[in-house]
Structure 1
Amino acid sequence: MRTFMELCDLLSPALKRQNTKMRAGLTVEKRVAIALWKLATPESYQSVRNQFGVGKSTVGTTVMQVAKAITELLLPKVMTRGNVQVIVDGFAAMGFPNCGGAIDGTHIPSLAPDHQGSQYINRKGYFSMALQALVDHKGCFTNINVGWPGRVHDARIFRNTSLFKWLQQGIYFPEQKITVGDVDMPIVILGDPAYPLMPWLMKSYTGSLDSSQVLFNYRLSKCRMVVECAFGRLKCHWCTLLTRSDLTETNIPIVIAACCVLHNLFESRGETFMAVWEVEANRLSADYVQPDTRVIRRAQQEALRIRETLKTSFMTGQGTV
Structure 2
Amino acid sequence: MSRETFAELKSALEPFWITSRGEYSMDQALHITLWKLSNSRVTYRELSDKFDVSKGTAHKTFLKTINAICKLKNEICWPSISQQQTIMERFQASRQNAFPFIVGCLDGTHFKTNTPKKDAISYYDRKGNYSIVMQGICGSTFRFLDVFIGYPGSCHDANVWKNSPIYKGITSGEIQLAKDDIILADSAYQL
Question: Does TM, scored on the shorter chain, surpass 0.5?
Answer: yes
For residue 156 of structure 1, the aligned residue among 140, 159, 169 is 159
Q: Which has the higher contact order (CA 8 A, sep 6+)?
A: 1
Contact 1:99 1:188 in 2 (8 A): yes
Contact 1:106 1:130 in 2 (8 A): yes
Q: How many residues align?
A: 182
Q: Could you say what secondary structure the match of 1:60 adopts?
A: helix
Alpha-carbon distance between aligned partners in 1 of 2:133 and 2:183, rounded to the nearest angstrom: 20
Q: Is the alpha carbon distance of 1:151 and 1:187 closer, same or farther for their aligned partners in structure 2, counting shifts above 3 Å?
A: same
1:91 is aligned to 2:91: yes
Alpha-carbon distance between aligned partners in 1 of 2:173 and 2:34, rounded to the nearest angstrom: 38
Q: How far does residue 147 in structure 1 lie from its aligned partner after superposition?
A: 1.0
1:192 is aligned to 2:191: no
Alpha-carbon distance between aligned partners in 2 of 1:33 and 1:44, rounded to the nearest angstrom: 15
1:58 is aligned to 2:52: no
TM-score (norm 2): 0.82
User: What is aligned with 1:28?
Assistant: 26
Q: Is the alpha carbon distance of 1:38 and 1:112 closer, same or farther for their aligned partners in structure 2, counting shifts above 3 Å?
A: closer
Give 1:140-289 correspondences, 5 Å limit.
140-174=143-177, 176-177=178-179, 186-197=180-191
Q: How far does residue 133 in structure 1 lie from its aligned partner after superposition?
A: 1.0
Q: How far does residue 132 in structure 1 lie from its aligned partner after superposition?
A: 0.9
Alpha-carbon distance between aligned partners in 1 of 2:38 and 2:122, rounded to the nearest angstrom: 28
Q: How far does residue 25 in structure 1 lie from its aligned partner after superposition?
A: 5.1
Alpha-carbon distance between aligned partners in 2 of 1:108 and 1:32, rounded to the nearest angstrom: 19
Deviation by residue 1:174-198 (Cα, 9 ceiling, x = unmatched): 4x32xxxxxxxx312122221122x
Give the greater-gyration-radius structure (CA).
1
Letter in 2 for 1:92: Q
Q: Is the alpha carbon distance of 1:132 and 1:60 closer, same or farther for their aligned partners in structure 2, counting shifts above 3 Å?
A: same
Q: Could you say what secondary structure the match of 2:142 adopts?
A: coil
User: What is aligned with 2:38?
Assistant: 40
Deviation by residue 1:51-77 (Cα, 9 ceiling, x = unmatched): 4332111101111111111121x2312
Alpha-carbon distance between aligned partners in 2 of 1:118 and 1:43, rounded to the nearest angstrom: 23
Q: Is the alpha carbon distance of 1:99 and 1:170 closer, same or farther for their aligned partners in structure 2, counting shifts above 3 Å?
A: farther
Q: Could you say what secondary structure the match of 2:190 adopts?
A: coil
- Considering fraction of residues, name the structure with more helix: 1
For residue 132 of structure 2, the aligned residue among 107, 129, 133 is 129
1:80 is aligned to 2:80: no
Q: Could you say what secondary structure the match of 1:129 adopts?
A: strand
Deviation by residue 1:131-173 (Cα, 9 ceiling, x = unmatched): 1111112332211111111111111111111100111133433
Q: Is the alpha carbon distance of 1:153 and 1:39 closer, same or farther for their aligned partners in structure 2, counting shifts above 3 Å?
A: closer
Q: How far does residue 117 in structure 1 lie from its aligned partner after superposition?
A: 0.7
The alignment's C-alpha RMSD in Å is: 2.3
Q: Could you say what secondary structure the match of 1:24 adopts?
A: coil
Q: How far does residue 43 in structure 1 lie from its aligned partner after superposition?
A: 4.0
Task: For structure 1, list consecutive stretches of 5 or more residues without a partner in the other structure.
Answer: 178-185, 198-321
